[in-house]
Amino acid sequence: MKLNKLAPLFSVAIALFAVVSVFAQSDTFSDPNVDYSFELPDAKWKMTVKPSSTSPNVEYVFIDRNDGHLEVRKLTVAKDAMLADVIRSEEQKLQFLPGYVTGKQETFAGKLKGGILNYEFVRAGRNMSGRFYFLRADENTMYVLRFAGERDKLKSIRNQTDSIARTFEVKKG
């Protein structure tokens, strides 16, 4: 008899879950001032720097800058530039961060292929980490998705940083 009383409550719970799932859809970033787009998997990502005709850079923050910060940058590279050389060049710029420690480099594949540079550093006495996705768009163009945040917080949203990088694509046309 107790199961019969719980059946309507169970049905309501399933219906609410379905409604929440519909509203948990990702948002797409696209702007006429840039030639790329990507999916934002959570509504907590807020744009802090909008691209313009003079600056194609875009930046997002996840809740707070220390929780997660994303910068998208476009690099022009030599036609025969190796991914490892581009990563090394960017890594040299990071070496002056306080407490800088290089991490593991990984290969990456989404809509674009490339590599990942992981590193750690200290900011205002807090352990921070960075995760840069280097995505090759063509023989002369590479995009860098620069994520940074407090080490544990950035680690907790790694599935989101991977998702953003996997859905990053250059617009056709």
pLDDT of 2: 54
- Name the CA dihedral angle for 75, 77, 82, 87, rounded to a multiple of 10 degrees: -30
CA distance 107 to 88: 14
Q: Cβ distance 116 to 105 under 8 Å? A: yes
| pLDDT of the residue at 85 | 95
Kindly state whether residue 152 falls inside one of the protein's structural domains. yes
CATH number at residue 139: 3.40.1000.10
Backbone φ and ψ of 142, nearest 5°: -135, 140
Residue 29 lies in a domain: yes
| 12 within domain boundaries | no
18 in any annotated domain: no
- Eight-class DSSP state of 71: E
Give the pLDDT of residue 26. 72
Q: How far apart are CA 43 and CA 40, in angstroms?
A: 7
Q: Let me know if residue 100 belongs to a domain.
A: yes
Closest CA to 103 of 124, 77, 130: 130
- pLDDT per residue of the chain (173 residues) written in tens, 0 to 9: 454 554 454 444 444 443 333 345 579 999 999 999 999 999 999 999 999 999 989 999 999 999 999 999 999 999 989 999 999 999 999 999 999 999 999 999 999 999 999 999 999 999 999 999 999 999 999 999 999 999 999 999 999 999 999 999 999 86
CA-wise closest residue to 104 among 116, 113, 92: 116
Residue 19 lies inside a defined structural domain of this protein: no
On whether residue 140 sits in a domain, the answer given is yes
User: Which among 136, 135, 132, 137 has a CA at the least distance from the CA of 116?
Assistant: 132
How many structural domains are present in the chain?
A: 1
**Is residue 13 assigned to a domain?**
no
- Domain containing 114 equals 25-170
List the strands of the sheet with 36-40, edge to edge. Answer: 27-30, 36-40, 169-170
